[in-house]
Amino acid sequence: MNKTSFLIAFILLALIACQPKTEEPTTGSLAELDLKKYPKTELTADFDLLVNSLKEGHPGIYWYHTEAQFDSLVAVQKLLIADSLNGLQFFNIVSPIAAYTEEGHCGVSLSNNVSQYLETKAKYIPIAVLSVNKKIFVLNNPTKDIKIEGFELKKINGQPIEQLYEKLFRTFESDGYIEMSKYRDLDYMGLSDYYAQTIGQPTKFEIEVVDPTTKQVATYKFSATDAKGWYEIENAVRINKVDMKAVELKILPNKTAILAVNTFSSGNFEGGYSGYEKIMAKSFRAIDSLEIQNLIIDIRRNEGGSGDNDAHLFSYIASKPYNIFWYAEISAFTYSFNEFTTYSTEDFKELEDELREEYTLDDDGRLTQRDGGYTIEPLRHNSYQGEVFILTSGATYSMGATFSTLMRQHTNAIFIGEETGGGFYGNTSGTVLIVTLPNTDISVRIPLKKWSMNVDKGEFGRGIIPDYPIQPTYEDYKNGNDVVLEKAKSLIENNALPNNL
């Protein structure tokens, strides 16, 4: 190299050295997060405790998968344990195991320190979404310059949205093989939340979207947001932000009424269960006195409740004798993981006494209770005998789904909307023990009672399938159109009643 070339090279190197340094954004992998790391021995001990507790306490653990299938998944997940994993990495190893029980009442919760990290330091993709027939639509503009509200989301950081949803679905629970409830869990800022927990927390995002009008594909890049930004977007896009009444009766023309039952939880009623009884009695007195002929029962937001509030509502409609449950089942009277729960010694003694009083050992070795221990309310002499339309969604769960099952099995009610999030043939719920893993502080919810409903008109592993499947579109969301309710009104106006179908 001659002197001139050397001098030029030296000057270029000097200029480069003087340039301000710009850091490339990190990949945002979970391993990079500033979280406490754990030795493999502690992670393995927590893993084994979680698996053994589920096997010991969860009576519905093999309802949808065989023991061999469950053990196979456990073996695969256990191979992922390595030294110095953080709490969020470990969470993603164990959460698919609880999800594989296919029971929405069973699940894994983050530790306190990871939850605090997500509230203070985490990075989130600043977009909210809405699922419509398995297509994902953007509900907001991530920046003031990027106008993609209403566009279909196709990729996030190069990963197709279908693959991304499939991966996320494996990490959280639902009943049976029902996907609708999982799509609803990822709506609004749910996708952003689960992405940060499961995929990663990059500082920059690149997404691919499709303009629904022009069908043109476009790519956009923007920065992540923090928890404050996450909440701001969530509050901006959420529909039905006004607090709803637990139960509300609205009278429409043409002898029609809408009874919205948004919860079966006694705690949402003044006076508890007696308050719930009073409002139901008042509602059906009005329905009777006004000679209502078409009753629309809206349980799209009903995620369950307590006691036998679902059966109490059904008692106002039932016209013939019925049973609710075929049997209830538990796996044991006592449990070896007591010390890792919030129950005291006295609490467990009380629980054991209750279980021994209610359940007996069958000839096949199972601990069961005939009829689930429920006493059916006497038939009402003035039960409602008009037409009934049930509005459901993927959020209709637990007791909301149980009520739907009773209506499907014992009446000719028309169902409109989405498949329920709760299974048709029952669930595993009732008493729930929360086991906290001693090393990572991750907790798992273990429901103790398997409820098998005395029904035969459904599909195993699925919820209640509506007679008229309807999902609101993005335009419906934007314009506030309640197309599910409007469908019910249309059927009534056109005399498309159960007895005329």
In the predicted model, is pLDDT for residue 2 greater than 90? no
pLDDT tens digits along 446-476: 999 999 999 999 999 999 999 999 999 999 9
Topology of domain 129-237, per CATH?
A: Pdz3 Domain (2.30.42)
Q: Which residues contact 473 (CB under 8 A, 6 or more apart)?
A: 132, 483
Which residue type is seen at 213?
T
Q: Beta strands of 157-274 (E only): which ranges? A: 159-160, 204-210, 217-223, 247-252, 256-261
pLDDT tens digits along 214-268: 999 999 999 999 999 999 999 999 865 556 799 999 999 989 999 999 999 999 9
C-beta separation of 232 from 218 below 8 A: no
Which residue type is seen at 345?
T
C-beta separation of 439 from 46 below 8 A: yes
Query: Same CATH topology for 129-237 and 247-500?
Result: no
pLDDT tens digits along 79-106: 999 999 999 999 999 999 999 999 999 9
Strand partners, 159: 156
In the predicted model, is pLDDT for residue 500 greater than 60? no
Task: Supply the DSSP string of 329-342, one letter for each residue.
Answer: EES-SS-TTGGGSS
- Alpha carbon 445 to its chain centroid, in Å, reads 14
Tell me how far CA of residue 292 lies from CA of 16, 252, 270, 451, in angstroms.
Answer: 81, 9, 27, 34
Q: Determine which helix (DSSP H) or strand (DSSP E) holds 469, and give its type and residue range.
A: strand 468-469
**DSSP summary character for residue 442:** -
Phi, psi of 217 (to 5 degrees): -95, 135
Topology of domain 247-500, per CATH?
A: 2-enoyl-CoA Hydratase; Chain A, domain 1 (3.90.226)
Q: Beta strands of 284-357 (E only): which ranges? A: 294-298, 325-330
Of the candidates 46, 41, 32, 48, the one whose C-alpha atom is nearest the C-alpha of residue 89 is 32
Confidence of residue 44 (pLDDT cuts 50, 70, 90): very high
Task: Supply the DSSP string of 381-415, one letter for each residue.
Answer: TT---SEEEEEE-TT--THHHHHHHHHHHHS-PEE
List the chain domain ranges. 30-109, 129-237, 247-500
Q: Which residues contact 100 (CB under 8 A, 6 or more apart)?
A: 65, 70, 73
| Distance, CA of 237 to CA of 130 (rounded, Å) | 10
Q: Which residues contact 276 (CB under 8 A, 6 or more apart)?
A: 246, 247, 264, 266, 269, 309, 312
Query: Which of the residue ranges 117-121, 183-187, 206-210, 370-374 would you say has the lowest mean pLDDT?
Result: 370-374
pLDDT tens digits along 275-327: 999 999 999 999 999 999 999 999 999 999 998 999 999 999 999 888 899 99
C-beta separation of 299 from 396 below 8 A: yes
Phi, psi of 350 (to 5 degrees): -65, -40
| Distance, CA of 413 to CA of 400 (rounded, Å) | 15
| Distance, CA of 45 to CA of 47 (rounded, Å) | 5
Confidence of residue 18 (pLDDT cuts 50, 70, 90): very low
Altogether, the residues listed in the chain come to a count of 501
